[in-house]
Amino acid sequence: VPPQIRNSNSSQIQSLAYECGAEVSYMTQVEDDEAKILQSVKEALLKSDIVVLTGGASFGDLDFSQKVFENLKAKIQFTKLAIQPGKPCLFATVGEKFLFGLSGNPVSSFVQFQILLKPLINLLSGNKQKEIILKLPMSNDLSRKRSERNLFFPVIINSATELEAVEYHGSAHLNAYEAADAIASFPIGKNILKKGELADVRFI
pLDDT digit string, tens, across residues 48-71: 999 999 988 888 888 899 999 999
Give ∠ CA 93-97-103 in degrees, rounded to 5.
Answer: 65
Domain boundaries, the chain: 9-124, 133-203
Q: Please say if the pLDDT value at position 87 is more than 80.
A: yes
CATH superfamily of 133-203: MoeA, C-terminal, domain IV (2.40.340.10)
pTM of the predicted model over 0.75: yes
**pLDDT confidence of 175, banded at 50, 70, 90?**
confident
Which residues make beta-bridge pairs with 199?
A: 136
Q: Please say if the pLDDT value at position 9 is more than 60.
A: yes
Q: Please say if the pLDDT value at position 174 is more than 90.
A: no
- Tell which wins on pLDDT, 5 or 23: 23
Q: What is the pLDDT of residue 173?
A: 81
**pLDDT confidence of 129, banded at 50, 70, 90?**
confident
Do residues 44 and 100 touch, judged by C-beta distance below 8 A? no
- Tell which wins on pLDDT, 31 or 72: 72
- If one looks up domain 9-124 in CATH, what number appears? 3.40.980.10
Do residues 82 and 188 touch, judged by C-beta distance below 8 A? yes
Do residues 107 and 174 touch, judged by C-beta distance below 8 A? yes
Q: What is the pLDDT of residue 99?
A: 98
Mean pLDDT of the chain, nearest integer: 93
CB burial readout 170-191, b (16+ within 10 A) else e: ebeeeebbeebbbbbbbeeebe
**pLDDT confidence of 127, banded at 50, 70, 90?**
confident
Find the largest Cα–Cα distance for the chain. 54
**pLDDT confidence of 38, banded at 50, 70, 90?**
very high
Q: How many angstroms separate the CA atoms of 199 and 137, rounded?
A: 6
Q: What is the pLDDT of residue 191?
A: 97
